[in-house]
Amino acid sequence: MTKLEKGLVQVYTGDGKGKTSAAFGMALRAIGRGMKVYIIQFIKGGFDYGELYIVDKLPNLKLKAFGRGTFVTQQPPSEEDVKLAEEAFRLAKETVENGEYDMVILDEVNVAINLKLISLEKVLELIKNKPKHVELVLTGRYAPKELIEAADLVTEMREIKHPFRKGCQARKGIEY
């Protein structure tokens, strides 16, 4: 597989379901074409997500999740949450800038920015400095307008109807 001639910046945001799923769908498509994909998950470490069980079965896919296994709600955030997000961002910066991977997905990075775990300026700088061939995908609710403006493609998932509203709990293999 030759490198992409032009890697774009994609953002998946909004209050609807499917942001991470869209990113993983792109990862699967890229892997099918022989591309190398690295997924870095912000604030998802320690949770039991189904995607963690498939990573070692797919060639050219690497995934690293950061977080304490609990939702980040404290404001200002705890030092530990900030430290984990900064560690995730350091890996993201190194991975994007070395250009070894064709696609880099920063899952829930928008939420990490919103929670003030990492700065918007750092993410905008990463976009500006990414190698030409790297496809960069940013997911999570609350994408700031500056990130939306810096992206080439932006999709907003909007909830219209969700079974959670009628008491349906998250289902293993579907929601997680």
Which helix (H) or strand (E) segment holds residue 91: the answer is: helix 79-98
Mean pLDDT on 143-149: 98
pLDDT of residue 104: 99
C-alpha to C-alpha distance for 53 and 45, rounded to whole angstroms: 14
Domain positions in the chain are 9-140
pLDDT at 29: 97
| Residue 39 backbone phi and psi in degrees, to 5 | -110, 125
- Answer yes or no: are the C-beta atoms of 138 and 110 closer than 8 Å: yes
Residue 2 in this model has a pLDDT that exceeds 90? no
Output the average pLDDT for the chain.
95
Tell me the sheet residues that pair with 153: 10
pTM for the model stands at 0.95
CA distances from 21 to 97, 157, 160 (A): 25, 11, 17
Q: Which residues pair with 166 in a beta bridge?
A: none
The pLDDT tens digits for 101-141 are 999 999 999 999 999 999 999 999 999 999 999 999 999 99
Using pLDDT thresholds of 50, 70 and 90, give the confidence band for residue 164. confident
Contacts of 117 (CB under 8 A, 6+ apart): 42, 43, 72, 77, 81, 82, 84, 85, 86
Nearest to 87 by CA among 43, 48, 126: 43
pLDDT confidence of residue 174: 87
Report how far residue 64's alpha carbon sits from residue 47's, in angstroms, rounded to the nearest whole number.
12
Res. 73 pLDDT band, cuts 50 70 90? confident
Spatial CA neighbour of 165 closest among 17, 14, 12, 13:
17
Task: Using pLDDT thresholds of 50, 70 and 90, give the confidence band for residue 3.
Answer: confident
Name the CATH superfamily for 9-140: P-loop containing nucleotide triphosphate hydrolases (3.40.50.300)
Sign of CA dihedral 129, 132, 133, 139: positive
Backbone angles phi, psi at 142, to 5 degrees: 70, 30
- Check the CA dihedral 126-55-154-117 and report its sign: negative
Q: Report the pLDDT value the prediction gives residue 149, as an integer from 0 to 100.
A: 98
pLDDT digits (tens, 9 = 90+) for 28-42: 999 999 999 999 999
**What residue ranges in the chain does DSSP mark as E strands?**
9-13, 37-41, 61-65, 103-107, 135-139, 153-156
Pick 3 or 22 by higher pLDDT.
22
Q: Which long-range contacts (CB under 8 A, 24 or more apart) does 165-169 make?
A: none
